[in-house]
């Protein structure tokens, strides 16, 4: 993968292993690059206002504020208080999901009869604990690289992601924020191309 910028500006680099989640703190003006290392891997992403964790990026408020069901380069990531906390400034894929909740215990139990499958809800919750964030309800995520196709009736079909090895998104922090991201655990459907692989996060210092 070619260099996205001068590596001297990388403050922190985090690998998210398969079936796990990681969190990080970003100062206002810093950028977060989320890289799909092997391709076709969805990352469930959440973001909280560091100074008031009752405020968080909310896909339902984003859809209303953006008047769109798509996430596009230049879009602001609006919070449950309708304020932008981050902005999508670069995107090499252009296909993401802002409808689906994180997979959870009940998804695997009810739909696949699995009692102990890893899930994004628990992985996000665990990752956020590092920064003493214990949300009563884990917010719905932005599902980076997830490929949802609408048919002629407006119903959805889940297809394999379009992301290739090295594809990435870059998000700019508009406030001090805490973020968490998982490698989506779904290996029983096309969500991640039928297998779970690693994601890399890089935090880039403000210019």
Dihedral over alpha carbons 68, 69, 70, 71 (to 10 degrees): 80
In a domain, 83, yes or no: yes
Q: How many domains does the chain have?
A: 1
What pLDDT score does 6 carry? 63
Task: Name 32's bridge partners.
Answer: 171, 203
In a domain, 194, yes or no: yes
| Half-sphere exposure of residue 31: CA atoms within 13 angstroms, side-chain side | 21
Can you tell me the distance from the alpha carbon of 180 to that of 100, in angstroms, rounded to the nearest whole number?
Answer: 17
In a domain, 117, yes or no: yes
In a domain, 115, yes or no: yes
In a domain, 168, yes or no: yes
Tokens of 91: 């995107």
In a domain, 1, yes or no: no
In a domain, 4, yes or no: no
Which residues span the domain enclosing 96? 9-204
Percent of the chain with pLDDT over 90: 89
Are the CB atoms for 176 and 27 separated by under 8 Å? yes
Residue 196 has pLDDT above 90, yes or no: yes
Can you tell me the distance from the alpha carbon of 79 to that of 44, in angstroms, rounded to the nearest whole number?
Answer: 16
In a domain, 3, yes or no: no
Please give, one letter per residue, the 3-state secondary structure of 117-171. Answer: CCCHHHHHHHHHHCCCCCCCCCCCCEEECCEEEECCCCCEEEECCCCCCCCEEEE
pLDDT digits (tens, 9 = 90+) for 69-83: 999 999 999 999 999
pLDDT-derived band at 152 (thresholds 50, 70, 90) equals: confident
Whether this prediction's pTM lies above 0.75 is answered by yes
pLDDT-derived band at 1 (thresholds 50, 70, 90) equals: very low
């Amino acid at each position: 993968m070619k260099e996205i910028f001068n590596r001297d500006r990388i403050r922190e680099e985090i690998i998210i292993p398969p079936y796990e989640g990681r969190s990080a703190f970003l100062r206002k003006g810093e950028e977060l690059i989320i890289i799909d290392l092997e391709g076709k891997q969805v990352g469930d992403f959440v973001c909280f206002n560091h100074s008031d964790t009752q405020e968080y990026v909310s896909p339902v408020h984003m859809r209303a504020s953006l008047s769109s069901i798509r996430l596009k380069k230049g879009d602001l990531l609006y919070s449950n208080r309708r304020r932008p906390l981050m902005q999508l400034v670069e995107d090499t894929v252009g296909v993401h999901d802002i409808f689906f909740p994180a997979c959870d215990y009940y998804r695997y139990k009810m739909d696949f009869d699995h009692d102990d499958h890893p899930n994004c809800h628990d992985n996000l919750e665990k990752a956020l604990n590092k920064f003493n964030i214990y949300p009563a309800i884990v917010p719905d995520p932005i599902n980076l690289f997830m490929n949802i196709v609408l048919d002629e009736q407006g119903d959805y079909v889940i297809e394999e992601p379009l992301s290739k090895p090295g594809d990435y998104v870059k998000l700019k922090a508009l406030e001090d924020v805490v973020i968490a991201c998982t490698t989506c655990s779904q290996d029983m459907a096309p969500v991640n191309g039928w297998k779970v692989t690693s994601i890399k996060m890089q935090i880039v210092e403000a210019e």
